[in-house]
Structure formats: structure tokens, C-alpha cells
Amino acid sequence: MDLRKELEEVIRTRGLAMRTEEAEKLAGYVGRMPTPLEFHLFDTMWSEHCSYKSSRTTLRLLPTQGPLVVLGPGEDAGIVSFAEWEGNEWCLVVAHESHNHPSQLLPVEGAATGIGGIVRDVYCMGARVTGSLDLLRFGDPAGPSGERCRSICRGVIEGIWKYGNALGVPNLGGDTRFHPGYDDNCLVNVVALGFVRRDRIVHSYAPPEAHGEQYVLILTGKPTDDTGFGGATFASSDLEDDSRKGAVQVADPFLKRVLSEANAAVLDHLFEKGVSFGFKDLGAGGIACVTSEMAAHGGLGIVVDLDSVPVSIGGLPPEVVACAETQERYGLAVPLRVAREVMDIYNVDYELPRLFPGAGAFLIGRFTEETTYRVVQAGSEVACAPVESITEGIVYTREERPAPVIPVEPEERPCRPGEDLGRMLLSFDGASRRPIWSYYDSEVQGCTRFRPGEADACVTAPIPGCSAGLAVSGDGNPWYGELDPFLAGAHAVGEAVRNVVAVGAIPIAVTDCLNYGSPEDPEVFWQFGRGVRGIAMACGVLGLHEGGGPLPVVSGNVSFYNQSSAGGAIPPSPIVAVFGRMDDFTTATDISLKEPGNTILLVGPRRDELGGSLYYRECLGHRGGRVPGFDGGLERSMAEFVLECHRRGICRSVHDISEGGLLMAAAEMSMASRPDARRGMVLNRTDADPVYLYSETPGYLMEVPPEGLASMETVPDFVSVAGRVTGTFSIRSGGMEILLEPLLDEYRSLLERVVWREEGLR
């Protein structure tokens, strides 16, 4: 049999995702038939999930640098400078990942390990994790697959609270949307953020000192089992059937919590001793990836002894021990001379072996000057490859074929504000997310100022004692995605920026997760490219931070193959998170209407561009139309105006205009008012104009004192007075009055029927 046939045979019998040409390349690197461990290691390293082989070229379009950027994309998380406090420069550390495929098959475990994995990426930069966000996309709860969609939705929420709450990381929101395009492939995107002193940033490779002194690799955490074997490969292929459940990892937030405490003690110890070290979490590809990458990116080789790896199941073949994605593990590169004391912190001070059978810290490898990656077991070599093969990725040029959607507008647009508002508020996308958030602990760590839903962005004071505030928001509209993949990318950034600006913060960084179908489909790859260009364009104009330049994308992830064998690809789903900073977190502004008589300003003209709008979908049963344009110059001017109003201290409440348009925003601001001091709004316009009331042209509603604008020398022409705050719980316009009280209970409880219990849906 020739080599090619032999390689194909291995790929088939081992269920590998690599192509024959890739296997040939691997055989070339090792100069012989690769070992099973080598096959699995490179199957992971060269998977789409790890190698970005299809997306890398396109991703270069994104701005990633700027005056505040400390570390752009490349390591486990991105880092931006955040605040000076007590003589130290504190940095924000952010990471963004998807756990779509695992969550579709095993929702509880998939969502839990999604958080587990993303927080490790932030921890391993040396940071304290101070928040997480979940950006969830589910199928239609009332559609043909409704029962399964609801069950996945419930499972994902359960996975999130069971993991995040126990870990002690506050949930800072995110968003949840429903679209039939996710019936067979939900999206579970997760963001984690944390803070680290700039002089205590840790890198994920063996430090330069390892060239002069013997460094070793310590593996710490859970004992290795066979869970998650082939996980990264699995994330890079179609969701064909349920037989890949074994590729989903099992999470343990309790062990993670103790491990995080022990890690913090170890890092403190090493910094105090002045020892250089490397630290990396174990994710895709397990031990094999962490050891090879820590060595290769440090310009070293390593010898890994698999017999030293603690396992919880006997008799596992070497490729499983080396490549399984058992959760709650980290790798540390430290000098041999401190290895004992480091292991004692884990094993004696924090008693890992007593708290979890088989857990602990163990020395499993030695770094070498010879740049070869070796794995030995029972005295024989089970892998041996030059480290260049690990650092040198592979790149594919994918074909793209434009597939623009021709906008089709509805023939008639009847406008019955009372009825329309009811339909929009009481829809799956429009209803309160409170039934979901009620499961999440958003206040652990004691730093939370605004919880999800109270303001456009969550706001925290993440560095105790320091007044600097952090505002975060995540967005992405699939209904725009299916109509215009470019504008979906631009608006994802635009809306998240507006949310952060609405509370009074200046955006400083972006992360993204780009969720698409198969990159091998030229139309899908075109959608992907359009989405990236949309994000790049919006970031290019929305850099509002000191020092100027585009808003940098500092971390992110690409998730392809989001489709089922039966259905097509998901709607193009670029999802972004925006992080903002404010000098004084106590000045942050929420969305609740405050004082009758205050003026309501409308920031941003209303335009006839209702394609994909909540009004079209819920009131006209129409999904087409022209998506709102993205006017970068206007978007920037509006943000500058709102931030200027914040600086002058005249904002009493601010809400961005997005789904459902102006009327929906007004209703949400009213319903957020105090139950013992209900507020409403009277609008100056008296005609029932669907463009004015429902268009999702970007903008803001802002409550200011009646004399508020008097202090402004000039008011931009995109600002107008929309009405004023009233002491009645209603929205009035001309002779019409929409009472909100009758809608309130249903608005708040609608999603209970999706996430609490099985009950008849409309």
C-alpha cells in the first residue's frame, strides 16, 4: 500500500478531520508514518478551530492595535490599558469564544464548559476574572422544532448558572435571540473579562530565561480522563449526529474555584521571588497542545513523560492521555529549582488531592534546547516532531461567491401603535430577559453597579477602591445578518458601542465571535468576508478613546460549520462585545425614566429603512426589506454628542434605539421606572408614522432636565425634542394613549414559558 492510501486509511479509521494533503504534510515533517499521537495532535492543531486556516487572511482586515492596546489577538486573551490606581497600571483582559456544537448536543455541559474554557483564557494571563457575558442564539421556541429549541435553551441556561454562579464570576449580561435559522444549531458565545496589573501579565509560553536554566512543565488540576477527546476537530465539522457526545467535556466549577485560588497564590509567590514563568490553560488538544505550544512559542523543545500524568481511568492509549480535553487543568513553565514549592502550594496548602480524587500538581515535562517535541511513555517515544511544524500553521484560500439578498418591502404598512407595541413587547425577541437573568448571579464580587437589563450596558467598579467604571455590552442581529451580512457586522459593533456610550462610557476595545456555516461553501465564505469588513468599517470610525485611531478588536474567535446536514447554514452571525471605560462609575446612567416634566431628546434622524425590524416581523409577518444603513460619520457624531451630555451631567436616563424603534425604546424606559413612581412619555409627533415609531435607524432617546439643553452652545441638527416625561404609566401621542400596566406582567413573564416550564405557547 502506498503512503497516501495508508494515511487515508488512518484518517478514516480514527475519525480524523484532517485532509489527506495535511496528513502528507505531517508525514513529511516527521519523516515517516506518523504515530497515533502525532495524528491526533496535528488533527487538533490544524483544525479550523485552532488554526484559523480559512479565516486568517480575512481577519487581517480588522484593526487590532491602538494606543491602549497592550496585547492584541494571538495569545489566549487580549489586553488593554484601563486605569492607574495606587501607582499601578491596571489592564482589562478579554476573551471571546463559541461553544456552539457542544451546546447543541449536550446543552448543560456544553454551556458550562463554554464558561469554564473562556475564564481559563483570562486567568492564564495572570488576571482576576471579574465578569462573563453570554450571547445566545436559539431556534424558534414556537416553531416546528420548538420543543427541542426550548429544551436546549433551558439546558444552556442551567449550564451557565450552575457553572458561573459556583465559580463566583458575575454574569454581566449579553443577549438572547430567537431565529428559526438556529433550530438545528444553537449559538452559545461566551465572553470573559478580568483585570491584571501591567507588570504582572503572564504569557502563555516558556520565558526567555528557559534558554539558560532548566525549566520544567507542571500540570495542575483535574486528573486526565477521556472526555473531550477530539473536541476541537468536532467543533470544526458539521453536526451530523449525536455520536460525538463523547467529544463534549465535563465541567467542574468547584475544582476550578479552588484551583483559581491556588493559582493566584502560586503567581503571587513567583512574582515575589522574581521568577520568570509561563502559564497556559489546557483547552483544545489538551496536554499535547499546551506542551508543544509553550515550548514552540518559547523557541524550545520539550520532553513530556506521559507516565507522570495523573489519570482517573486506567489503560488509556497515549493519544487519549495526550489529547483529551479534560477540563480544569493548567500548564506552568517554571525553573526546576522552584518546582517543589509550586507543587506544594497546590497539593499541601490548597489540598487539591484531598478535595478531588486524583487532582493535584505534577511535573510532567522538561524543556530542552533541542527544538524537538517529544512524548515518551513506558520508555518508548510515542511522538517526535520538529517544533517548526507546530508554530507554522496552514492557510487555505477559500473561494467566495457573492450572494446578496434583494430587498423586498411589504406592500402595506398599517400603523396601529397600541396593537403594534403589544405585539413587539410580547414577542420572543422583544420580551424582558429577566426570566433568564434571574438564574444568574450578577453581583458576586460586590462590584456591580448595573445588572443586566437596568441600563443599556452592565456597569461594574472592577478594581476595589478605584472609581474607574467598566461598561460592557454584546450584540449581533441575525435578522439583519440574513438580509445583509456586511451591515450585520457593522451594526453589531454600532449597537454595542451605543449601549456603552448610553451609560456614559467611552468604548476602548472590541472582541468578536464570527459564527457562520461551512467556509467550503463559497456563498457562506462571502458572508463571512462581508461580516468581517462590516466590523472593520464600524471599528474604523468609532474610535472615541484618547489617542485616537480605530476601536481595536483585541481578541476573538471564528466558528464555522454552524449548520446541520438537513438544514442550511445559520444566518450570518457576527457577534461582538464592546468594552467601555468611565472615570467615575457612580455617574453611569440607566434607562429608567425619572422626573415628570423632563425633556426627551431624540438623537438620530428616523429613516425609512425597516428591513429585518421587529415591526415587520411581529406586526406584518414580513422578514424582508432594506436594513438600516450604517452612517459612520453620523454614528460617531451621535456618540460624541451623548458623551458630551454625560460630561455636562445632564443625562437622567438614556436608551439606545434598536429593535422595535423609538416606540419600543420609550416603552422600555417607562417600564424600567420605579414601581412606586411610575413614569411615561408624551410624544410631540401626533401622526401614526411607522417610520418615526418603528424604524431601527440607530439613535438614542435621552431624558434631560427641561433646562438641560440651555447650557449647550449649539445643538447638532440630528437632535430633536421628541416629547417629555409624564407621571402616568403610558405612552401618549396626540389623542392616543397606550397604557403600559396591562402589558407589564406578560412582558416580564413571557420568557418564563420558554425557560421555566413547558406550557402552551401562543
Partner 1 sequence: MKDLPLVAVIQFPGSNCEYETARVVEVSGMECRIFRWNQLQPLRDASPDAFVLPGGFSFQDRVRAGAVAAKENLMDLVVEGASGGRPVLGICNGAQVLVESGLVPGWEPGRIEAALAANHVSGRSGYLSTWVFVRVRNGAGIGNPWLSALGGSPVPIPIAHAEGRFVFRKQDAGRTRPVEALAYCSHAGEESGVYPLNPNGSFHNLAAVMNPEGNVLAMMPHPERAFHLWQLPPWIPGEWGDRRSAALSGGNLGTAPGPGSLFFRSLLEHFGGGAA
Grid cell, residue 691, equals 417610520
Q: Does 454 participate in binding partner 1 (rule CB under 8 A)?
A: yes
CB of 354 to partner 1, least distance (A): 9
In the complex with partner 1, the residue whose CB is nearer, 368 or 438, is: 438
> Is 535 in contact with 486 (CB distance < 8 Å)?
no
Q: Does 349 participate in binding partner 1 (rule CB under 8 A)?
A: yes
> Is 437 in contact with 171 (CB distance < 8 Å)?
yes
Q: Does 327 participate in binding partner 1 (rule CB under 8 A)?
A: no
In the complex with partner 1, the residue whose CB is nearer, 72 or 194, is: 194
99 carries an active-site annotation: yes
Q: Stretches 234-242, 347-355, 729-737, 738-746: which one binds partner 1 (CB under 8 A)?
A: 347-355
In the complex with partner 1, the residue whose CB is nearer, 586 or 686, is: 586
> Is 166 in contact with 84 (CB distance < 8 Å)?
no
CA neighbor of 515 nearest in space, from 494, 485, 553: 485
Ordered DSSP codes for 203-233:
BSS--GGGGTS-EEEEEEESPB-STTTTHHH
In the complex with partner 1, the residue whose CB is nearer, 254 or 396, is: 254
| One character per residue 556-585, x = contact with partner 1 (rule: CB under 8 A) | ----------------------------xx
Q: Does 473 participate in binding partner 1 (rule CB under 8 A)?
A: no
Q: Does 165 participate in binding partner 1 (rule CB under 8 A)?
A: yes
Q: Does 271 participate in binding partner 1 (rule CB under 8 A)?
A: no
Q: Does 586 participate in binding partner 1 (rule CB under 8 A)?
A: yes
> Is 53 in contact with 46 (CB distance < 8 Å)?
yes
CB of 684 to partner 1, least distance (A): 26
Whole-angstrom distance, CA of residue 501 vs CA of residue 542: 11
Ordered DSSP codes for 655-697:
EEE-TTHHHHHHHHHHHTS-TTS--EEEES--S--HHHHH---
In the complex with partner 1, the residue whose CB is nearer, 136 or 206, is: 136
In the complex with partner 1, the residue whose CB is nearer, 168 or 522, is: 168
CB of 365 to partner 1, least distance (A): 28
> Is 473 in contact with 499 (CB distance < 8 Å)?
yes
What are the backbone angles phi and psi of residue 349, rounded to the nearest 5°? -60, -45
Q: Does 441 participate in binding partner 1 (rule CB under 8 A)?
A: yes
Write the single-letter amino acid at 153.
C
Q: Does 368 participate in binding partner 1 (rule CB under 8 A)?
A: no
> Is 54 in contact with 394 (CB distance < 8 Å)?
no
Paired residues of 513 in beta bridges: 557, 575
Q: Tell me, what DSSP letter sits at residue 620? A: I
Q: Does 168 participate in binding partner 1 (rule CB under 8 A)?
A: yes
CA neighbor of 110 nearest in space, from 10, 14, 251, 11: 251
Q: Does 315 participate in binding partner 1 (rule CB under 8 A)?
A: no
Q: Residues binding partner 1: what is the number (CB under 8 A)?
A: 52
In the complex with partner 1, the residue whose CB is nearer, 85 or 439, is: 439
Question: What CA–CA distances, in Å, run from 761 to 11, 228, 671?
Answer: 46, 36, 24
Window 395 to 414, contacts with partner 1 (CB under 8 A): none
What b/e readout covers 386-396, taking b as 16+ CB neighbours within 10 angstroms?
bbebbeeebee
Q: Stretches 13-21, 206-214, 313-321, 670-678: which one binds partner 1 (CB under 8 A)?
A: 670-678
Options 248, 447, 603, 740; binder of partner 1; rule CB under 8 A: 447
Q: Does 113 participate in binding partner 1 (rule CB under 8 A)?
A: no
In the complex with partner 1, the residue whose CB is nearer, 81 or 263, is: 263
655 carries an active-site annotation: no
Grid cell, residue 577, equals 462585545
Options 677, 684, 686, 741; binder of partner 1; rule CB under 8 A: 677
Q: Please identify which of the residues 40, 49, 101, 203 carries the catalytic annotation.
A: 49
Angle between helices 107-123 and 146-167 (to 10 degrees): 40
Neighbours of 684 (CB within 10 A): 13
Q: Does 444 participate in binding partner 1 (rule CB under 8 A)?
A: yes
Q: Please identify which of the residues 40, 96, 99, 101 carries the catalytic annotation.
A: 99
Angle between helices 253-273 and 107-123 (to 10 degrees): 10
Paired residues of 563 in beta bridges: 569
Q: Which residues bind partner 1 (CB under 8 A)?
A: 158, 161-162, 165-168, 252-254, 257-258, 261, 349-351, 355, 437-451, 454-455, 461, 464, 467, 584-586, 590, 592, 594, 672-677, 752, 756-757
> Among all residues, which ones are annotated catalytic?
49, 99
